[in-house]
Amino acid sequence: MTVLGHLRSQLAFLTHRSVLWGASALGDPGARLVRRGTADPYPLYDEIRATAPLVRSRLGFYVGAGHALSARLLRDDRFGMPGPHGVFPLRAATEPVHPIEDSFLMMDPPDHTRLRRLVAPWFTSRTVARRAEEIERIVADCLDEFEGAGEVDLVPLFANRVPVQVICDLLGVPAPEHERFRGWANRIAPAFDGVNSVGEFERLRQVMLELQEFFTELIAFRRRHPAEDILSGLVHAKVDGESLNTKDLLATSGLLLLAGFGTTVNLIGKGALGLLTHPDALGHLRRDPGLAAAVVEETLRYDPPVHLTARFAREDAEVAGFRFRRGDQIVLSLAGANRDPAVFDHPDQFDPTRPNAREHLAFSGGIHFCVGAALARLEAGIALRALFQRHPRLELAGAPERGDGRTLPMLTSLPVHCPRRAASSAA
Ligand code: HEM
C-alpha cells in the first residue's frame, strides 16, 4: 500500500468508527447493532423488536429483530447479497481472493446457484451421516489430550480443535497441515465483523495471502492426484463443459474452511456452556445421551453462532407495508428472531425440551440457508455427548469470555474443572 493509500484508508477507518460511535451515542439502533463491543446484545434486540418489525437507522439502513419478517425477507428473491466489494469497500482488485467476499455466499443467482450446486451434495444429511464414525474418533482423540488435566479451557482444547479437523478432512487438507489451518482460521474468523485499523487490515491480508498460496499448491496437487475429497471434486468439476476458474476455486475452498470453522467452534462451546449453567438440562442429557441433538437445536436458538446477516433490495419492493428502494440494505438479527416471544414461549430460557426449537433462524433461510447445517448438527451433537459422557462431573471453573464481534460473537474462553476419570466414573 502506498503512503497516500495508507493515509486515505486510515482516515476512512477513523471516519467510519467515529460515525458509528457518534450515532451509537445518540441512541441510533443501527449503529448500536453493528458497533463492536462485548455488551450483552439481547436487550437491544428486544428493544428493536418491540419498536417495530423494521427500524430505520440514521446511517441509512434498516434493522430488524423479529422472526416473521426476517424469515420472509430471507426467502424473498427480490432481496439479495451485496456481491464482491460490497462488504469491504476498501479492497483493491489486486488483493488476495477473499474467502467470504468473493465466495458464493455473497452472490445472487445464477452464479450462486452454479457454485452452491457443486458443493451441496457433500453436505446432505445422508452423506454427512457416513462421517459419524470419523467424527467420533476425532472427538475422542481431542478428549484424550486433556484427560485428567484438572482445570482446562474448553475453547482452545476442544471446541476449537474438532471442527478444523473435520472440515480439513472433508476438503482433503493433509493431517500435518491441520494446525496451520487452525491458525489461519482463528485469525480470519474475527474479520467477519470487519477490521478496526489499517494494521489489522494488513495482518488479515497477510493471512489471506498465506491461505491462498497454500490452496493454490493443494489445488495443483489435486489436479494431478485426485482423491475422495471436496477439493478434488471442485478441481475436476465441469459446469456447462467448463472447469471452475482459479478465483472461484480459491474462494469456494476458503469459504468452506471459514464458514465451517468459527461457527461450529461457537456451537460446541455455547452448547457446553448452556449445559454447564443449566443443571436440569445436563441431568436430562446424562440420563439420555440421545438428547444431544435437542441440546444442539436449543443452543442454536438460544445463542446462535451467527447473530447478524444482511440483505439488499435488488429492485423496488414492498413487504409487509414497508416500501424498499433498490439498493436499500436491511440488517437482520437472527439471534433476535430466535428470541421472538411470538414464536418461542419464555424465549430467554435455555430449554432443550422446547418442542419448536427447530424453528430458529440460526442457519438463515432461503437460497443461502447454511450448506453445512447437517454437518454442524452432527458434529456438535457428537462432541457434546462425548464430552459429558467422558466427564459427567465437568463444572465451570471461571467466567467464560467473549470476543467483541457482532456478526460472529466468538466464545473465546470456557474454563472448566475436569475431574480425573476415576473420580468421574465413580459418580
Ligand atoms: C453451527 C454451525 C453453523 C452455523 C450457525 C452456520 C450459519 C450459517 C448462516 C447463518 C449462513 C447464511 C448467511 C446468510 O444468509 O447471510 C451460512 C451459510 C453458509 N454456511 Fe454455515 N453455519 C454453520 C456451519 C457450517 C459448516 C460446518 C459449513 C461447511 C463446512 C458451512 C458452510 C456454509 C456455506 C458454504 C454457506 C453459504 C451458503 C450460501 O450462500 O448458499 N456452515 N451458515
Adjacent-strand bridge partners of 333: 308
Say yes or no: CB of residue 97 within 6 Å of ligand 1: no
Residue ranges of E strands in 23-98: 55-56, 62-64, 79-80
Q: How many CA atoms lie within 13 A of 411 on its CB side?
A: 28
Confidence (pLDDT) at 422: 56
Q: What is the Å distance from ligand 1's center to 364 Cα?
A: 8
Across residues 21-41, what is the average pLDDT? 87
Residue minimizing CA distance to atom 21 of ligand 1: 370
Contact 242, 114 (CB under 8 A): no
88 CB contacts (<8 Å, ≥6 apart)?
98, 101, 194
Q: What is the Å distance from ligand 1's center to 80 Cα?
A: 16
Residue minimizing CA distance to atom 43 of ligand 1: 370
Identity of residue 312:
F
Q: What is the Å distance from ligand 1's center to 309 Cα?
A: 11
Confidence (pLDDT) at 387: 96
Confidence (pLDDT) at 9: 57
Is the pLDDT assigned to residue 89 strictly greater than 60? no
Q: What is the Å distance from ligand 1's center to 329 Cα?
A: 20
Say yes or no: CB of residue 255 within 6 Å of ligand 1: yes
DSSP label at residue 60: S
Across residues 254-276, what is the average pLDDT? 95
Query: Could you read off the pLDDT of 32-41 as tens digits, one per residue?
Result: 998 888 889 9
Confidence (pLDDT) at 424: 42
Say yes or no: CB of residue 116 within 6 Å of ligand 1: yes
Query: Could you read off the pLDDT of 291-345 as tens digits, one per residue?
Result: 999 999 999 999 999 999 999 999 999 999 999 999 999 999 999 999 999 999 9
323 CB contacts (<8 Å, ≥6 apart)?
316, 317
Say yes or no: CB of residue 263 within 6 Å of ligand 1: yes
Query: DSSP for 153-206?
Result: EHIIIIITTHHHHHHHHHHT--GGGHHHHHHHHHHHGGGGG--SSHHHHHHHHH
Say yes or no: CB of residue 105 within 6 Å of ligand 1: yes
- Phi, psi angles (nearest 5°) of residue 33: -70, -40
Atom of ligand 1 nearest to the CA of 380: 1
Q: Give SS3 for 79.
A: strand
Domain definitions of the chain by residue range: 3-425
Say yes or no: CB of residue 408 within 6 Å of ligand 1: no
Atom of ligand 1 nearest to the CA of 112: 41
Contact 402, 411 (CB under 8 A): yes
Q: What is the C-alpha to C-alpha distance for residues 44 and 33, in angstroms, rounded to an integer?
A: 7
Is the pLDDT assigned to residue 154 strictly greater than 50? yes
Residue minimizing CA distance to atom 27 of ligand 1: 260
- Phi, psi angles (nearest 5°) of residue 358: -65, -10
Is the pLDDT assigned to residue 56 strictly greater than 90? yes
404 Ramachandran zone, left/alpha/beta (phi>0; psi -120 to 50) = alpha
Q: Which fold has domain 3-425?
A: Cytochrome p450 (1.10.630)
Q: How far is CA 7 from CA 88, 91, 199, 205, in A?
A: 17, 14, 12, 17
Q: What is the Å distance from ligand 1's center to 127 Cα?
A: 17
State the CB neighbour count (10 A cutoff) for residue 246: 13
Identity of residue 225:
H
Q: What is the Å distance from ligand 1's center to 353 Cα?
A: 25
Identify the helix (H) or strand (E) that includes residue 257.
helix 246-259
Query: Could you read off the pLDDT of 395-413 as tens digits, one per residue?
Result: 999 999 999 999 999 999 9
Say yes or no: CB of residue 362 within 6 Å of ligand 1: yes
Which of 118, 125, 263, 384 has most ligand 1 atoms within 8 Å of CB, for mutation? 263
Q: What is the C-alpha to C-alpha distance for residues 412 and 97, in angstroms, rounded to an integer?
A: 27
Identity of residue 351:
D
Q: What is the Å distance from ligand 1's center to 6 Cα?
A: 33
Residue minimizing CA distance to atom 39 of ligand 1: 368
Say yes or no: CB of residue 368 within 6 Å of ligand 1: yes
SS3 content of the chain, % helix, strand, coil (to 5): 55, 10, 35
Query: Could you read off the pLDDT of 172-191 as tens digits, one per residue?
Result: 999 999 999 999 988 888 77
Confidence (pLDDT) at 318: 97
Q: Which of 85-94, 349-358, 385-394, 415-424 has the lowest mean pLDDT?
A: 85-94
419 CB contacts (<8 Å, ≥6 apart)?
391, 393, 394
Q: What is the C-alpha to C-alpha distance for residues 162 and 156, in angstroms, rounded to an integer?
A: 10
Say yes or no: CB of residue 138 within 6 Å of ligand 1: no
Contact 374, 398 (CB under 8 A): no
Q: What is the Å distance from ligand 1's center to 362 Cα?
A: 9
Confidence (pLDDT) at 421: 64
Say yes or no: CB of residue 376 within 6 Å of ligand 1: yes
Which of 115, 164, 229, 371 has most ligand 1 atoms within 8 Å of CB, for mutation? 371
The mean pLDDT of the chain is 90
Residue recorded with cell 445464477: 110
Say yes or no: CB of residue 276 within 6 Å of ligand 1: no
Radius of gyration of the chain (CA): 22
